[in-house]
Amino acid sequence: MEHNQVEIILYGAEQLCPSCVNLPSSKETFEWLEAAIARKFPEQPFKMTYVDIHFPPAEPEKQSFAQKVIEEDMFYPVVVIKDKVVGEGNPRLKTIFSELEKYGYKAV
């Protein structure tokens, strides 16, 4: 089954969220997640995007979601695939992998 390249967006911040002490930083989580997805789904393209919730890019959807993370006190990093939140605070690989499989990714 052919699939389009899915964009996985990780919303985070330099500073850890108050409830996320002892967890890796958003940037560390981003790098760990990118490596884990690449290992699980080799040679299947995906796009990882990091969005700093305090300095989001000039894209309206990303700006409004970054604002939502702040206003709703979500535990970040927040992982989003196709507008669906698939991880908050300490994202679970299993949840993220199963969401990617819905878009045609095949675990190796």
pLDDT of residue 14: 87
Specify the CATH number for the domain of residue 95. 3.40.30.30
Quickly tell me which residue has 């080799």 as its tokens.
42
In a domain, 1, yes or no: no
Q: Which long-range contacts (CB under 8 A, 24 or more apart) does 70-75 make?
A: 75/17, 75/19, 75/20
In a domain, 42, yes or no: yes
Name the domain count of the chain: 1
Domain containing 79: what range? Answer: 6-101
User: What pTM was computed for the model?
Assistant: 0.91
Mean pLDDT, the chain, integer: 92
In a domain, 37, yes or no: yes
In a domain, 107, yes or no: no
In a domain, 25, yes or no: yes
In a domain, 106, yes or no: no
pLDDT single digits (tens) 12-66: 998 876 666 778 889 999 999 999 999 999 999 999 999 999 999 999 999 999 9
pLDDT single digits (tens) 89-108: 889 999 999 999 999 999 88
